[in-house]
């Protein structure tokens, strides 16, 4: 029979395209048995579980020119499992048409087949999750709407790239373009072109931004122990580990040493040898003598003594590797998590110190605009940019009051990383600070040609740090502010494996709005200073990448605030809070019986439709919906046309508390509780001394704080008891 297939023309490749045998019926007229036996590629038949194409570029990995139909879907099942039989059948038919009878006459290159597999995987995993079997059941709008969340939960990347989103959309246009033959072949498909209004590129660009926005910050319950452990490692433990690395350098080799000869023959001078046994015996002595420090308030060293006689995981070599990794990962997390930089920029930091200022390379000190603070700024170079050109970016590592000698934690981390890698530095083939240490269980003592570490390896190291050193076993099932049910179980059970480095940047942005009081004082101070730097200097304000993270965290926090309000978990206060409660009554009805993740999606939709703007501060949030009633702008007389956001120069808690744009919930309770305490204490002390004439405003502030606290469900009676106790203590006769 004549071959009626459209000829295959593989334009990107110079080689002859694959033309299937001529003695068969058209694909779409084949019986299942015929298709099973049909040579779909020069190397594979229809029934094969892997379709392979001949690779056209030397050195290409096998995977780029094959589709493995036994691919693992996102729920852990295989596409070849019985329950996916129908999905597998039409996916094979679709790919056969795309490669052998494409509607445009141009078949894709063999080297792009791996990408087709990825595209099939994304789409079929999603369809399987929703019980959709055939393309005609596919709700493309729902897929597009869900993609940002879907991708952000599955992709283990710092930022969601355009190509990642394009991959997830890859198959959909074919479901439309190949519709005629698909239908003839018994596959019901899409009824209309999903990309009729906008191109696939338009959707990919929009969804990539949204997907990065969907990556949540670390849940508070995880962030606090992680950050505290990072700060812990940067103290005495890091110093000890740096000292421990001396065994790698083995400085005694080749020097003259004194050894005891026999019992009574005295001491002889010898040259310490370079042989492996000599070195081993020196290392044994070094490990046996090594002592770890004791932390303030503790009675014994923070780490047990190294047992040089052991070779197992308790042995000194394995322990040294573990400790090296811990300090490196803690330092890296401190730099990324406390400056907000991207992992690619972290990996690009160079080793060494500035000969002039003595600071780690790339770091400089700038005076803040007010002249009150010193800012530690590092300039990084991002080699891969959208425009393909290197881009320099400044990141504020920390701030200190002018005249102070303290260095911010990330600066200390840079110093430590330099010292930690010192034994290997001369073997490095890169100027970069973080080196790709040999992959074995031990630290290499003899090595050559160490390249820079990759972002993937760094991310794996950070995950291992959480798994090894941060105890998440006591986590409850759900975080206090959850966007899906049982959100902490995956953290507890995977020991933090769900961590993404971008979460550190999101947590950075979150702590810039309000520092969690359970963080160690050093970290609280770090973020407190950084927040001041943000308003006092242009550095953070001009870093577009950080601003967009702050914006997306603010958007997430707004959505969360509305979610918790409509679910009745967290009441809102403030005049805008009251308006919001009225405006979301219908939404509250709609979502109250839904699982939290679905309720969250509805809330996001509502907030996006209403385009609710929000600006956070420690005392509450501003939603400037009523531009003619913005008190901070009334103060300064700003024109109505220019009132797009709060006026940071005049914005004050007492002004906001009576403003139509103000909303707060329990997240701001700490601020108002301390305002309540401070103002009542001041007023009552004045009352005791018999003169409250100048304290009217103080009393009003205390009363205002009390009202807001009651509205968000805080029991002020407990604060009153605290006030009375403080006053009693102050009046105990000497
Ligand atoms: S006074 Fe406060 S709540 Fe009102 S507009 Fe200004 S910042 Fe927003």
Ligand 1 centroid, distance to 632 Cα (angstroms): 5
**471/441 Cα distance (integer angstroms):** 23
Tell me: the pLDDT tens digits for 181-206? 999 999 999 998 998 888 888 888 88
Token reading at 350: 């160079």
**pLDDT score of 3 more than 70:** no
**pLDDT score of 8 more than 50:** no
Contact (Cβ atoms closer than 8 angstroms) between residue 325 and residue 436: no
pLDDT, position 88: 97
Q: Which atom of ligand 1 is nearest to the CA of 651?
A: 7
Backbone angles phi and psi of 264, in degrees to 5: -120, 5
User: Burial, 386: exposed, middle or buried (Cβ in 10 Å; 0-12, 13-18, 19+)?
Assistant: exposed
pLDDT confidence bin for 7, thresholds 50/70/90: very low
pLDDT, position 4: 38
Say if ligand 1 is within 6 A of residue 632 CB. yes
Ligand 1 centroid, distance to 662 Cα (angstroms): 6
CB under 8 A, 24+ apart: contacts of 102-105: 102/6, 102/8, 102/177, 102/178, 103/6, 103/177, 103/178, 103/180, 103/181, 104/177, 105/6, 105/7, 105/9
pTM: 0.75
pLDDT confidence bin for 156, thresholds 50/70/90: low
pLDDT, position 13: 39
Of 354, 310, 353, 330, nearest in space to 241 by CA: 330
More confident position, 18 or 462: 462
- Average the pLDDT over each of 99-103, 150-154, 170-174, 604-608 and give the range with the smallest value: 150-154
Average pLDDT over residues 155-174: 83
Say if ligand 1 is within 6 A of residue 651 CB. yes
Say if ligand 1 is within 6 A of residue 625 CB. no
Say if ligand 1 is within 6 A of residue 360 CB. no
Ligand 1 centroid, distance to 718 Cα (angstroms): 29
Q: Which atom of ligand 1 is nearest to the CA of 633?
A: 6
User: Burial, 360: exposed, middle or buried (Cβ in 10 Å; 0-12, 13-18, 19+)?
Assistant: buried
Say if ligand 1 is within 6 A of residue 607 CB. no
pLDDT, position 58: 66
Ligand 1 centroid, distance to 709 Cα (angstroms): 18
Catalogue the E-assigned strands of 435-517. Answer: none
Tell me: the pLDDT tens digits for 613-630? 898 888 999 999 999 999
User: If you take atom 5 of ligand 1, which residue's CA is the nearest one?
Assistant: 630
Average pLDDT over residues 134-160: 84
Token reading at 604: 């996001």
pLDDT, position 30: 92
pLDDT, position 121: 95
pLDDT confidence bin for 145, thresholds 50/70/90: confident
State the DSSP string of 182-235.
HHHTT----SS-TTSSS-HHHHHHHHHHHHHHHSPPPPHHHHHHHHHHHHHHTT
**pLDDT score of 305 more than 70:** yes
pLDDT, position 535: 61
Tell me: the pLDDT tens digits for 230-282? 999 999 999 999 999 988 877 777 777 777 766 666 777 777 777 777 778 88
Of 447, 407, 402, nearest in space to 423 by CA: 447
User: If you take atom 2 of ligand 1, which residue's CA is the nearest one?
Assistant: 656
Q: Which atom of ligand 1 is nearest to the CA of 660?
A: 4
Instruction: Give, in order, the Cα–Cα distances in Å from 27 to each of 91, 211, 266, 697, 714.
Output: 14, 39, 93, 85, 70
**pLDDT score of 64 more than 50:** yes
Instruction: Give, in order, the Cα–Cα distances in Å from 604 to each of 143, 145, 607.
Output: 16, 11, 5
pLDDT, position 249: 79
**pLDDT score of 6 more than 50:** no
Say if ligand 1 is within 6 A of residue 443 CB. no
pLDDT confidence bin for 383, thresholds 50/70/90: low
- Average the pLDDT over each of 7-21, 138-152, 620-634 and give the range with the smallest value: 7-21
Ligand 1 centroid, distance to 539 Cα (angstroms): 24
Say if ligand 1 is within 6 A of residue 662 CB. yes
The residues near 93 (Cβ < 8 Å, ≥ 6 apart) are 27, 28, 35, 182, 185, 187
For tokens 């009574």, name the residue. 264
The SS3 of residue 68 is strand
Ligand 1 centroid, distance to 661 Cα (angstroms): 6
**pLDDT score of 692 more than 90:** no
Half-sphere exposure of 531 (CA within 13 A, CB side): 17
Ligand 1 centroid, distance to 553 Cα (angstroms): 20
Ligand 1 centroid, distance to 715 Cα (angstroms): 26
Ligand 1 pocket, mutate which of 621, 624, 625, 671 (most atoms under 8 A from CB)? 624
Return the H-helix or E-strand segment holding 521: helix 521-536
Ligand 1 centroid, distance to 510 Cα (angstroms): 20
Ligand 1 centroid, distance to 659 Cα (angstroms): 6
- Average the pLDDT over each of 160-164, 256-260, 399-403, 494-498 and give the range with the smallest value: 256-260
- Average the pLDDT over each of 241-255, 379-393, 548-562 and give the range with the smallest value: 379-393
- CA triplet 593, 595, 601: central angle to 5 degrees? 105
Say if ligand 1 is within 6 A of residue 671 CB. no
Half-sphere exposure of 65 (CA within 13 A, CB side): 18
pLDDT, position 444: 79
Percent of the chain with pLDDT over 90: 51
More confident position, 17 or 299: 299
Contact (Cβ atoms closer than 8 angstroms) between residue 233 and residue 336: no
Catalogue the E-assigned strands of 57-186. Answer: 66-68
**pLDDT score of 11 more than 60:** no
pLDDT, position 105: 83
Backbone angles phi and psi of 335, in degrees to 5: -65, -45
pLDDT, position 263: 65
């Amino acid at each position: 029979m004549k071959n009626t297939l459209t000829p295959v023309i593989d334009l990107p490749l110079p080689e002859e395209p694959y033309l299937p045998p001529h003695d068969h019926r058209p694909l779409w007229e084949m019986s299942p048995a015929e298709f099973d036996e049909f040579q779909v590629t020069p190397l594979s038949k229809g029934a094969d579980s892997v379709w392979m194409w001949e690779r056209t570029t030397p050195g290409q990995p096998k995977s780029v020119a094959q589709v493995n139909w036994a691919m693992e879907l996102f729920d852990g099942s295989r596409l070849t499992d019985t329950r996916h039989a129908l999905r597998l059948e039409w996916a094979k038919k679709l790919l056969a048409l795309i490669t052998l009878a494409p509607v445009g006459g141009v078949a894709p290159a063999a080297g792009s087949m791996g990408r087709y597999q990825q595209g099939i995987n994304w789409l079929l995993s999603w369809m399987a999750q929703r019980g959709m079997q055939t393309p005609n059941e596919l709700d493309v709008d729902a897929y597009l709407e869900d993609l940002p969340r879907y991708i952000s939960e599955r992709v283990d990347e710092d930022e969601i790239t355009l190509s990642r989103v394009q991959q997830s959309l890859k198959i959909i246009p074919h479901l439309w373009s190949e519709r005629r033959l698909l239908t003839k072949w018994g596959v019901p498909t899409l009824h209309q072109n999903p990309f009729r209004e906008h191109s696939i590129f338009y959707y990919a660009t929009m969804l990539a931004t949204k997907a990065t926005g969907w990556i949540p910050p670390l849940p508070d319950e995880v962030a606090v122990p992680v950050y505290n452990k990072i700060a812990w490692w940067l103290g005495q433990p890091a110093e000890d580990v740096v000292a421990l690395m001396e065994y790698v350098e083995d400085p005694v080799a080749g020097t003259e040493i004194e050894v005891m000869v026999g019992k009574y023959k005295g001491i002889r001078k010898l040259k310490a040898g370079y042989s492996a046994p000599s070195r081993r015996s020196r290392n044994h002595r070094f490990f046996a003598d090594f002592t770890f420090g004791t932390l303030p308030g503790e009675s014994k060293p923070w780490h047990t003594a190294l047992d040089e006689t052991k070779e197992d995981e308790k042995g000194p070599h394995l322990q040294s590797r573990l400790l090296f990794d811990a300090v490196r990962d803690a330092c890296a997390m401190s730099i990324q998590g406390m400056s907000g930089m991207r992992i690619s920029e972290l990996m690009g930091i160079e080793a060494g110190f500035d000969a002039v200022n003595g600071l780690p390379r790339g770091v400089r000190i700038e005076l803040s605009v007010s002249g009150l603070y010193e800012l530690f700024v590092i300039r990084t170079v991002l080699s891969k940019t959208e425009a393909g050109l290197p881009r320099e970016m400044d990141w504020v590592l920390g701030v200190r009051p002018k005249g102070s000698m303290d260095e911010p934690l990330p600066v200390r981390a840079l110093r430590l990383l330099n010292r930690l890698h010192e034994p290997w530095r001369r073997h490095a083939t890169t100027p970069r600070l973080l080196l790709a240490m040999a992959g074995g269980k031990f630290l290499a003592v003899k090595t050559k040609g160490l390249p820079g570490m990759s972002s993937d390896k760094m991310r794996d190291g950070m995950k291992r740090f959480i798994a090894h050193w941060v105890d998440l076993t006591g986590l409850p099932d759900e975080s206090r502010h959850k966007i899906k049910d049982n959100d902490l179980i995956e953290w507890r059970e995977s020991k933090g494996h769900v961590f993404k480095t971008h979460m550190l940047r999101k947590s950075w942005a979150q702590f810039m709005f309000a520092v969690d009081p359970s963080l160690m004082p050093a970290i609280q101070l770090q973020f407190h200073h950084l927040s001041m730097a943000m308003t006092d200097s242009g550095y953070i304000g001009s870093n577009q990448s950080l601003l967009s993270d702050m914006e997306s965290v603010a958007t997430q926090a707004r959505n969360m605030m509305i979610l918790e309000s409509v679910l009745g978990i967290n009441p809102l206060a403030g005049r805008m809070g009251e308006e919001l409660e009225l405006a979301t009554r219908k939404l509250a009805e709609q979502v109250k019986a839904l699982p939290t993740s679905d309720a969250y999606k509805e809330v996001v939709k509502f907030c996006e439709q209403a385009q609710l703007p929000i600006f956070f501060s420690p005392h509450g949030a501003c939603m400037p919906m009523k531009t003619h009633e913005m008190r901070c702008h009334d103060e300064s007389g700003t024109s109505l046309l220019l009132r797009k956001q709060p006026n940071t120069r005049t914005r004050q808690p007492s002004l906001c508390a009576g403003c139509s744009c103000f909303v707060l919930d329990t997240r701001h309770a700490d601020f108002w509780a301390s305002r309540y305490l401070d103002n009542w204490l001041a007023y009552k002390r004045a009352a005791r001394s018999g003169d409250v004439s100048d304290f009217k405003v103080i009393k009003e502030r205390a009363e205002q704080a009390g009202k807001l606290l009651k509205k968000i469900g805080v029991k002020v009676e407990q604060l009153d008891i605290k006030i009375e106790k403080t006053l009693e203590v102050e009046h105990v006769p000497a």
